[in-house]
Amino acid sequence: MTNNPDELSVCTDSYGYTHRLNGEISRGGQGIVFRTLVPNVVVKFELKDDKLLPPDENEKFMTLRFLPIPSGLHITMPQAALKDYSGYVMTMMSDMISFKQAFDDTIPPEQRITTPFTEKHDSNHRGFFSDYISSGGERRRLEAFMKSSALLAQLHSVGLVYCDYSQNNVFVSSSKDFCHVWLIDADNLDYESKTLKSFCYTPGLAAPEIAVFADELAQGTPEEECTGSGNSFGSDAYTFAVCLFTQLAGLHPFKGKKYLEIVDTDDRYDNADDDLCKGRLAYVADTEDDSNKASFFQLDVVLTSELEELFQQTFSQEGRDSYISRPSMSEWAFELARANDIAIHCTSCGMDYINADNNKCPFCGASLPEVFFAEARYAGGDAETPALWEYRREMKDEGITLPLRLAHGYDADELDRALLSLNREGDTIIIKIDSMSA
């Protein structure tokens, strides 16, 4: 046995099965996850101060299976506790990588997509645009976050708080031909009435009340006198929004002008990060406070007005101060689905966008590609009645597939279901019905 996670190569579970470890998947302050030689079996080890822990309280992992988690939800649950360490064995789909690996890590040169646009701008942006495009662009991010927000919303609907959403704990298909999404690391999953009395977070992502609560408890403040609080539906939503904004805008929502000014006077970043974590800094795109504004591409290019409003509600002073004033995960899932269905891909520069600039790509100025546009309305409604749902995609040689939500509206259980597909043969459009239920 060892207390150093870097020395691990094999472990045994409570049923006596031996698992040979086959590479680290993700690591955080509370644990480390390894692949095994069996493709869909992974092992989670708990950590404290980067050290492995003994199996003194492993029964807590197995009780998670008694929570009212909706059937078929893509969240990995403990299958067996470990014999010699604090941790457990779980299963998930093979060929998956964390959101961090999918969207944050630098793309290897041989896999990088370059265009005249990226060659022009990457030198001033540290390769951001080519990495962004090569990792799937905005549309893949919208779809992946749409599906992870749906998972959180479904957990919230039965009273459960996830607690530690981060880019290391959400996984997506490694192949860009698929977008299956799973939550791992369900250790802290519990009812809100219980999670409000404890805390679990990833530094830089935590809701302000959690960072404050953690400090107050560390300083010996009695729980009943603390001004902060533990994990909640609202803290899940806040952390989710931080991750989403960072991925879509390429910038942390609170690392703006004021943050950098504090960093300049504190080389260790301690004061700046403390202000960031505890909600003392304004949102970089706050409409009422520009003290911490930042320069990045216009949000209205990559966001719908509804998504912009959700970010404002979450990161405004009121949103930072009160977890009950933040948008719900259901709102995020709904609006991400709507945004995903109207984002256009520019075949010239490789970027995706929501709003065109005079029928031209807002990034490179190329003309709008040939786009198929569909909208759903109530039967008998007139042109002045707002559409129930919109869908637009650039026409492709291989055709396009319309989602079932164009007919049914948003449904978390139907995110991957198709309504119909369109293929062009010369001047003729071939329509194939994919769902008779529609």
Q: What is the pLDDT of residues 137-146, one digit of tens each?
A: 999 999 999 9
d(CA 395, CA 87): 49
| Whether the model pTM is above 0.95 | no
Q: What are the structure tokens assigned to 272, written together?
A: 């700046």
Instruction: Report yes or no: 410 and 337 within 8 Å, Cβ to Cβ.
Output: yes
pLDDT for res 381: 72
Residues 255-309 have pLDDT tens digits of 999 999 998 887 666 788 899 999 999 999 999 999 999 977 678 889 999 999 9
pLDDT digits (tens, 9 = 90+) for 297-353: 678 889 999 999 999 999 999 999 999 999 999 999 999 999 999 999 999 999 999
Residues whose CB is less than 8 angstroms from the CB of residue 398 and which lie 6 or more positions away in sequence, other chains included: 423
Where residue 292 falls (left for φ over 0; alpha for ψ -120 to 50; beta otherwise) is alpha
Residue 142 CA to residue 132 CA, distance in Å, equals: 13
Contact between residue 96 and residue 66 where contact means Cβ atoms under 8 Å apart: no
Q: Contact, 226 vs 213, CB < 8 A?
A: yes
Mean pLDDT value of segment 162-191? 92
Q: Please tell me what DSSP assigns to residue 279.
A: T
Q: What is the mean pLDDT of residues 413-417?
A: 93
Q: Are 234 and 240 in contact (CB under 8 A)?
A: no
The structure tokens listed for 53 are 């822990």
